[in-house]
Amino acid sequence: MFLNLHIETERLIIRPYALTDLDELYAVVSEPDFYRFIPEDVPSRGDVQRIIEWSIQCNKKNTLSKIHKLNLAIVDRERQTLIGYCGLGPDDVKETEVEIYYGISNAYRGQGIAYEAAQALLNYAFNKIGLLKVIAVVHPENVASLRIVAKLGMNYEYTYINLNPELKDFEGLLHYAIDNPSDVDTL
124-165 tens-digit pLDDT = 999 999 999 999 999 999 999 999 999 999 999 999 999 999
Q: Among 1.10.530.10, 3.40.50.261, 1.10.150.530, 3.40.630.30, name the CATH number for the domain at 7-186.
A: 3.40.630.30
Can you tell me the distance from the alpha carbon of 84 to that of 139, in angstroms, rounded to the nearest whole number?
19
Q: Is residue 149 a contact partner of residue 136, using CB atoms and an 8 Å limit?
A: yes
Can you tell me the distance from the alpha carbon of 124 to that of 54, in angstroms, rounded to the nearest whole number?
22
Predicted structure pTM score: 0.91
46-71 tens-digit pLDDT = 999 999 999 999 999 999 999 999 99
Can you tell me the distance from the alpha carbon of 172 to that of 30, in angstroms, rounded to the nearest whole number?
25
